[in-house]
Amino acid sequence: MPKGRVVLADDDVLLREGLASLCERVGYAVVGQAGEAETLLALVAEHRPELAVVDIRMPPEHSTEGLRAAATIREKFPATGILVLSAYVEVEDALALLAGGHGIGYLLKSRITDVDEFLETLDRISKGGSVVDPSLVQELVAAQRRDDPLSLLSGREREVLELMAEGRSNAGIGRRLWVTEGTVEKHVRSIMSKLRLPEDTDDHRRVLAVLTFLESR
């Protein structure tokens, strides 16, 4: 039983074929490949895959064709998880993408060289999680405004929120910080309270917390 169906879109044929081989090797079914946005959208409409991996810049103009295609996929096929790949950190584009909620990821292409991390990213997104490239997190942390809404958070709470923004679970955060999962849960509750997030499902509040973090620039 395959992990899920994947459509790949990148005009770099070698990279695309490499990703296809990697996905298939670990149990994903690659049901289509595209070199430009129009073909990508047609493939998603035909196969309704669980996951679409999309280059942010594709023909004809190599600007934001992939990003626009990702927005269309999210609107028309919300059940399809989306991982957008970029050659370098593009803050505004990343924020626009991540505002789409669950099952969304933004990853630098250089991160693909870490095969285990890339495959973990695919699994997270296909299961509805959100993944943010650590380089984007670092850039946003460095650019935080003095009056940002995160000013009430303690240093440890900021660490927890940064790891949440990378898509890590409470258990994963605990392993990274060498604390128990229960301790992480207490930090998460405190973060939600200090950011004054509305009562809702834990998953929804978690996404809102991450978006607050990302928008605090």
Host domain of residue 105: 5-133
pLDDT higher than 90, residue 203: no
Region 105-120: what's the mean pLDDT? 84
- Same domain, yes or no, for 32 and 108? yes
- Same domain, yes or no, for 39 and 125? yes
Please tell me the predicted confidence (pLDDT) of residue 112. 83
Name which residue leads in pLDDT, 96 or 77. 77
- Same domain, yes or no, for 79 and 110? yes
Q: Is the pTM of this model over 0.75?
A: no
The mean predicted confidence, pLDDT, of the chain is 82
The number of folded domains in the chain is 2
Tokens for 84?
């957008």
- Same domain, yes or no, for 81 and 123? yes
Name which residue leads in pLDDT, 41 or 60. 41
138 assigned to some structural domain: no
- Same domain, yes or no, for 81 and 172? no
Q: Based on the number of CB atoms within 10 Å of its own CB, is 140 exposed (0-12), middle (13-18) or buried (19 or more)?
A: buried
- Same domain, yes or no, for 115 and 190? no
pLDDT higher than 90, residue 206: no
Last residue of a domain, one of 107, 133, 159: 133
Q: What is the pLDDT of residues 114-145, one digit of tens each?
A: 888 888 889 889 888 888 887 776 666 565 54
- Same domain, yes or no, for 63 and 101? yes
- Same domain, yes or no, for 47 and 94? yes
Q: Which of 20-29, 35-44, 112-121, 148-157 has the lowest mean pLDDT?
A: 148-157
Name which residue leads in pLDDT, 67 or 29. 29
Last residue of a domain, one of 112, 133, 154: 133
Q: Based on the number of CB atoms within 10 Å of its own CB, is 58 exposed (0-12), middle (13-18) or buried (19 or more)?
A: buried
- Same domain, yes or no, for 85 and 180? no
What CATH number corresponds to the domain at position 165?
1.10.10.10
SS3 content of the chain, % helix, strand, coil (to 5): 55, 15, 30
Please tell me the predicted confidence (pLDDT) of residue 45. 95
Q: What is the pLDDT of residues 23-34, one digit of tens each?
A: 999 899 999 999
- Same domain, yes or no, for 103 and 151? no
